[in-house]
Amino acid sequence: MYYVLLTLGVFVLILVISGIKIVPQSQAWVVERFGGYRATLDVGFHFLLPFIDRVVKKASLKENLFDYPPQPVITKDNVTLDIDTVVFYQIADAKLYTYGAEDPRKAIAALSLTSLRNLIGEFELDETLSSRDTINSKLRSILDDATDAWGIKVNRVEVKNIAPPASVAVAMEMQMTAEREKRAAILAADGKKQSAILEAEGIKQATILQAEAKKEAAIQEAEGQAQAIMSIQKATADGLEMIKQAVGAEGAIKLKSFEALEKVADGQSTKIIIPSDLQNLASVVASVATLTKS
């Protein structure tokens, strides 16, 4: 009887120990009871009834990836491309992931391929090569919406490589070479244009500066002549004032008449008869001039 009880006790202890479950971090366990869904166990300590409760799925909640091999797709302008993509996904609901699809990875692969073909069919070759971000965004949105029923969250979709046929690649290389040569020719023409503009601008500025210099010189010369004329006129006025003081106003008038006669007589065949009073006045002026010089 003692051994029977001991054996029974050991058996019960084994059952209790077998019912203890510890779920590690970043995992979720799906438990069934009598073949039906019972609960989803999160991280920590749990106890299951032996032979009644059963763990049917241990789902990792870490981000995972699925790298697809290159797939042939046809663009809108009927060019066949080999495109390989990488899908980064995460299990958001362990229950839906367990019961939503028979093989979620295969389902994602098939959905990704069909969606990629439909999406690339809307783009031409040049658009496909230059619109990777757009393709990634649209494909991620399509896959994320479709996989909600499978308990999967699609975080990112990345197009790794787009490989055109060899003939298309050669044509693209030739086109790129022609574009580079075209840009180089445009840059050279722009450089010559800018050089000509700068040269013309320099000539213009030099001409303007020369004109300004001539203008300034003419102004300075005119001012000098004006100063000389003013000096002559002032000297003449001072002389007249001295003569006026010496011989009076009437004598000054007669002297001006004498100067007029002198200008009239500026010819070899001209005879001028000078009145005696002007001759006397001339001698007076000579005397004044002598006194002034001394």
Interval 265-278 mean pLDDT: 50
pLDDT for 170 beyond 50: yes
- Cβ-count burial 268-290 (b if 16+ within 10 Å, e if not): eeeeeeeeeeeeebeebbeebee
Tokens of 47: 């106890």
pLDDT given at position 293? 45
Could you tell me what percent of the chain has a pLDDT over 90?
16
DSSP output for 261-286 = HHHHT-STT---PPPHHHHHHHHHHH
- Pairing, β 80-91 against β 53-60: unpaired
pLDDT (mean) for 180-188: 83
Q: Is the dihedral of CA 234, 239, 243, 245 positive or negative?
A: positive
Domain boundaries, the chain: 2-60, 64-164, 238-265+273-293
Mean pLDDT of 286-294: 46
pLDDT tens string 33-56: 988 899 999 998 988 888 888 999
Report how far residue 80's alpha carbon sits from residue 168's, in angstroms, rounded to the nearest whole number. 10
pLDDT category of residue 262 using cuts at 50, 70 and 90? low
Question: Cβ neighbours of residue 76 under 8 Å, at least 6 residues apart?
Answer: 121, 122, 123, 124, 127
Name the token pair of 74. Answer: 């046809």
CA 275 – CA 88 distance, rounded (Å): 130
**What value does the mean pLDDT take over residues 207-235?**
82
pTM for this model (two decimals): 0.55
Looking at domain 64-164, its CATH superfamily turns out to be: Band 7 domain (3.30.479.30)
